[in-house]
Amino acid sequence: MKLYTSTRAPNPRRVDIFLAEKGIEVPRVEIDIMKQEHKAPDFIARNPMMRVPVLELDDGTHIAESIAICRYFEELQPAPPLFGVDMLDRALVEMWQRRMELDLMVPVAMAFRHTHPAMAELETPQVAEWGEVNKPRIFTMLDWLDGELADRPFIAGQRYTVADITALVAIDFMRPVRLGVPESCTNVLRWYADVSGRPSAGA
């Protein structure tokens, strides 16, 4: 088993944090996105979508997409549970994970990919206007999330889950776009201090 990853990219970091929470070690192969190694023929053979991360199993199976990889490891090692503990809890975690992914992480990614100069060669066409459109969406989501976090410690409830991992990575990824959590979002800032203080956040 080996994990094809990139230390610069947010989606591989989601898997890294997940594995750190589980205490799982997996051999890694670094893919340099800026050198476009994800477009090399041998990597395309592993993932035709040309995206990292990719988990290569011992039988030659390849699993792409960060959450799919995390689900594989959740089944492989259920404790600690990061996708929920029962039918209802798993549904709620899935709901919040999707919200964090679609309504926070995607706008952050669009703002970065379409406005940062370093992405000009990778994001073609790079549409600065689209990047700017997504910036207010980030703050709208953070403001809404602040209200949701007023009465619970973590995004999906009383336990740390994959939804917290996605939100943490998304917020950290705001830095290259020179954005930050507004001071008015006190509950988000409290939550962020807690989750970014976990040892796994350094993964």
How confident is the model over 139-197, as pLDDT tens digits?
999 999 999 999 999 999 999 999 999 999 999 999 999 999 999 999 999 999 999 99
Rounded distance between C-alpha atoms, residue 105 and residue 99, angstroms: 9
Q: Which of 191, 185, 104, 119 is nearest to 153 (CA)?
A: 191
Topology of domain 87-202, per CATH? Glutathione S-transferase Yfyf (Class Pi); Chain A, domain 2 (1.20.1050)
Domain range summary for the chain, segments of one domain joined by +: 2-76, 87-202
**10-37 mean pLDDT:** 96
Rounded distance between C-alpha atoms, residue 22 and residue 30, angstroms: 21
Rounded distance between C-alpha atoms, residue 171 and residue 193, angstroms: 12
Nearest 5 degrees, angle CA 187-CA 191-CA 192? 115
How confident is the model over 95-140, as pLDDT tens digits?
999 999 999 999 999 999 999 888 888 888 989 999 999 999 999 9
Note whether 156 and 163 are within 8 A (CB).
yes
Please tell me which residue, 7 or 186, carries the higher pLDDT value: 186
Give the architecture (CATH level 2) of 2-76.
3-Layer(aba) Sandwich (3.40)
Phi, psi values for residue 27, rounded to 5°: -60, 140
For residue 70 the two structure tokens come to: 């995390």
pLDDT at 118: 82
pLDDT at 120: 80
